[in-house]
Structure 1
Amino acid sequence: MKKVAFLAGGTAVLGLVVFAAWFFRPWAEYSPFNIIWNRETGDRVELYRRMDELFPHRIVEGEEKAEPLPRSIKAIDESYDWQGERKTIDEYAAESDTTALMVVKDGRVVFERYYQGEDAESRHTSWSVAKSYVATLIGMALMDGTISSLDDPVSKYVPDFEGTDYGSTSLRHLLMMSSGIDFIEDYESRGSDMRKLFFDVFIMNVDVDEFVKPYRRNRPAGTDLDYLSPNSHVLSMVLRKAYDKPLAEIASEKIFKPLGMADGTWLIDRNAPDGKEIGYCCLQTRAEDYARFGQLYLQDGMWQGQRLLPVGWTDLVSVPPTEVHEAGSTQYGERGYGLHFWVPEDPAGEYFANGYNGQSVFIDPANNVVVVKTGADIDQIPRRSETTAVLRALARAVK
């Protein structure tokens, strides 16, 4: 009996040793411990500057000698009205853990401010701003003929998805966030599909393509607005299969190098060379380069005299495609949705890319302005309307 107990105890100890080795992985560049510890910390500011140190990633090559955008810094009104109170931009930044604010007017940086250790060379995580980059690459693929139609089903480009619900979904319905797929998009609740995706991919090294493949539809596609990260990832799969190269290489060739951006990174589901980019998030780049991305849209897809996006693309993505996508009609409160871009309440032509915990690329064609915000705002959802007020105030303060 003692021998059995000894063996059982030894097995348990061995199991703990094996688990500890797997969890801490002192021999490896990335470990579950570092990922979980940094993900659960209350202070995410430093984490969001270091995502590509903690997770496997692929370099997105930029222009070899990236030239800065022209500067014309000016004094502007740094206050805004909120719920009957006059507040300053710096007050908002402190309350919302903002790390960078940049305003580009007529192609020139006119306002630039960094907080909490961030600086002009800091690469900050995009979170879901990356979804808008994926949509942009879809538009570019449409223009160069790599993709023939937004109404094509996914399976035309991803044969492995033939016979699945995602495989029969059109690219347009994915861009609209109208796939009808049954998936719980909740970043904070344990047990949600989104948390399971994070755990399986980043901790267990599950293939991200295979993770999303079995999800089923529980209502017809094209009938509602349901913001789901796997929709964007499937679009990134379409791009990888259509071009037969990693997403980071496509982004480098189509966006980063043409727009004169510096190098960035894109997180992948496992170490290179086999890793696949996480298509719904996790691009890492500088505030100025997010501004260049917004400027491309402000210029209707033109850059230095060359058309990079199809004629009419900026209008297509910035206008809610159905009544249920319009601001005030959605489950997302005051915000509406176009094709992988958000539309603010009471829109005056503005639209924006948006990411978890307060990342924004705000595009205001009427004022010819782009406003970029990065941060680590855990209270981003209750602060959404105030954030819109801040971005609008900055966009309209520059004459």
Structure 2
Amino acid sequence: MMKRLFVSLGALALASCATMPMAQGPATQMSQPKFPDAADSREVLFWNDETRSARFRAMEDYFAGIEVAHADEVRELPKGEPLGAATRSKVDGYLEAMNAAGIMVLQDGKVRYEAYRLGFGPEGRWTSFSVAKSFTSTLLGAAVKDGAIASLDDPVTKYVPALSGTAYDGVTVKQVATMTSGVAWNEDYTDPDSDVAKFLNIAPVPGESQVVTYARTLKRESPAGEKWVYKTLETGLLGLLVENATGEKLAEYAKHKIVDPAGFAGDMFWMTDLSGGNIGGCCVSLSLSDYARMGQFVLEGGQPSVPQGWFDEAGSAQVEFGGGYGYGYQWWTFPGGNYGAQGIFGQYITIVPDRNLVVAVVSNYPTATGEGLTKARRELWQTLIDATKD
């Protein structure tokens, strides 16, 4: 297991307008933006509060993507025993401090608390930012179960031959999944010249995925497997790998591997890049209840989509940061065996197996990340864990 550490904040892949056609099944359709000139992928990190609040719930109006129909059989989320008044008050205080738009708390698959703010409501969708990374990871597991990916120890070039001759030569699928490729990368959300701010604006080479085009510009800084650096591009590569292996767009594959078995009640929107592929590292949009359904699906093992025990591995620390924190296969890991999906500006699905607990939160943080916001989030989780003890 990887022990050395290089910590980088966050979670994001920016979105771009895709124009390439794609094959469409009856449950998917290409979505073109209503206001394509009103948003630029380079500007998402620097939108003001009002713009974020409006656009986070309508990203499909500004960016191209793929719409996926809700499940034919919706998973019901019955009401459970409400949290106590004192706990609800504390939770509401954290939500205000975090500028959260909504929270849903499930225990034993039942709703113990649900609240909405910032004009958001149960029927709306909110963007996920890097919560999408954990969706892509789950589709990786599905591709392994389907036999489309033989082994996580395979070289990524087996599934993405266009990476041959780049810094990703000799890197395994598992090393990309754990972000330990050794390839240099800058994920500074405050720097408009960082890799994360630029990679989805590069003009793709004709016939080539945009993420591969950008990967060609990168260099290696350490041997594969020895250093962890958070890189949104690598989830893009992981998504491309799954698309190549399965022959389906991520959104299409997600329809029958996540949306249907998890019983999503609403339609899903997943952004596409300039070369027409779904952005593996960002920008699924769902209702709050469907983020919670995703968490419940994962908590219960993700069957029948992924191998038995997949989340025991994917949701455990393949890279250790210290203090019980770490990183798995595109899942963040926390003390006590807990793990979750995280996106900048405050999007979360947190899974607490010992309590059979799922917490889904969507937010409009005043900044992409921040120590005070992280502290409030952790206090929120602890409050809910304490309140749901047997």
TM-score interval (norm. to shorter): 0.7 to 0.9
* Aligned counterpart for 1:241 among listed residues 244, 249, 253: 244
Which has the larger displacement, 257-266 or 162-171? Answer: 162-171
* 1:30-179 aligned within 5 A: 30-35=35-40, 40-43=46-49, 44-64=52-72, 66-72=74-80, 74-79=82-87, 88-179=90-181
Q: CA deviation at 1:385?
A: 2.4
Deviation string for 1:250-277 (max 9, x for gaps)? 111211112111211111114xxx6111
Higher relative CO (Cα under 8 Å, sequence separation at least 6) belongs to 2
* 1:212-227 aligned within 5 A: 212-227=215-230
* Aligned counterpart for 2:309 among listed residues 312, 324, 340: 312
Distance 1:73 1:256 in 2: 27
Residue 25 of structure 1 is matched in structure 2 by none
The answer as to whether partners of 2:167 and 2:215 remain within 8 angstroms in 1 is no
Which has the larger displacement, 375-384 or 34-43? Answer: 34-43
Which has the larger displacement, 274-283 or 64-73? Answer: 64-73
The answer as to whether partners of 1:176 and 1:337 remain within 8 angstroms in 2 is yes
SS in 2 for 1:362: strand
* Aligned counterpart for 2:341 among listed residues 353, 371, 393: 353
Residue 14 of structure 2 is matched in structure 1 by none
Distance 1:29 1:286, change over 3 A: closer
Structure 2 unaligned runs (5+)? 1-32
Q: CA deviation at 1:138?
A: 0.7
The answer as to whether partners of 1:73 and 1:112 remain within 8 angstroms in 2 is no
SS in 2 for 1:92: helix
- TM-score normalised to structure 1 length: 0.81
Q: CA deviation at 1:76?
A: 2.4
The answer as to whether partners of 1:150 and 1:170 remain within 8 angstroms in 2 is yes
Distance 1:184 1:49 in 2: 28
Distance 1:64 1:213 in 2: 42
Q: CA deviation at 1:38?
A: 6.4
Distance 1:67 1:311, change over 3 A: closer
Letter in 2 for 1:233: G
Letter in 1 for 2:36: S
Greater C-alpha radius of gyration = 1
Distance 1:188 1:199, change over 3 A: farther
Residue 268 of structure 2 is matched in structure 1 by 264
Distance 1:105 1:157 in 2: 39
Distance 2:113 2:45 in 1: 31
Deviation string for 1:128-149 (max 9, x for gaps)? 0110111111111111211100
Q: CA deviation at 1:225?
A: 1.6
* 1:176-325 aligned within 5 A: 176-200=178-202, 207-261=210-264, 262-270=266-274, 275-302=276-303, 307-322=304-319, 325=320
- TM-score normalised to structure 2 length: 0.83
Higher helix share: 1
Distance 1:135 1:201 in 2: 26
Q: CA deviation at 1:127?
A: 0.4
Distance 1:176 1:182 in 2: 15
Letter in 2 for 1:267: M
The answer as to whether partners of 1:103 and 1:395 remain within 8 angstroms in 2 is no
Distance 1:76 1:300 in 2: 29
Deviation string for 1:164-193 (max 9, x for gaps)? 222431111111110111110112212111
Letter in 1 for 2:379: A
Q: CA deviation at 1:73?
A: 5.1
Deviation string for 1:207-231 (max 9, x for gaps)? 3442234322111111122111011
Deviation string for 1:305-340 (max 9, x for gaps)? xx3221221111222124xx2334xxxxx8421221
Distance 1:71 1:201 in 2: 49
Structure 1 unaligned runs (5+)? 1-27, 81-86, 329-333
The answer as to whether partners of 1:61 and 1:252 remain within 8 angstroms in 2 is yes
Aligned-residue CA RMSD (Å): 2.4
Q: CA deviation at 1:368?
A: 0.5
Letter in 1 for 2:312: D
Letter in 1 for 2:271: L
SS in 1 for 2:262: coil
The answer as to whether partners of 2:342 and 2:348 remain within 8 angstroms in 1 is yes
Distance 1:164 1:370, change over 3 A: same
SS in 1 for 2:279: coil
